[in-house]
Amino acid sequence: TNRTFTMIKPDAMKNGHAGAILDKIIKSGFRIVALKQTKLTEEKAGEFYAVHKARPFYGELVEFMSSGVIIAAILEKDNAVADFRTLIGATDPSKADEGTIRKLFATSVGENAVHGSDSDENAKIEGDFFFSGLEQF
Any idea which residues carry the catalytic annotation?
A: 115
The residues near 27 (Cβ < 8 Å, ≥ 6 apart) are none
Nearer to ligand GTP, 5 or 131 (CB): 5
Coil, strand or helix: which one is 35? strand
| Shortest separation between residue 135's beta carbon and ligand GTP, angstroms | 21
DSSP β-ladder status, 3-8 and 114-116: antiparallel
68 binds ligand GTP (CB under 6 A): no
Stretch that binds ligand GTP, among 21-29, 37-45, 73-81, 104-112 (CB under 6 A): 104-112
Enumerate binding residues for ligand GTP (CB under 6 A).
52, 57, 60-61, 91, 109-110, 112, 115-116, 118
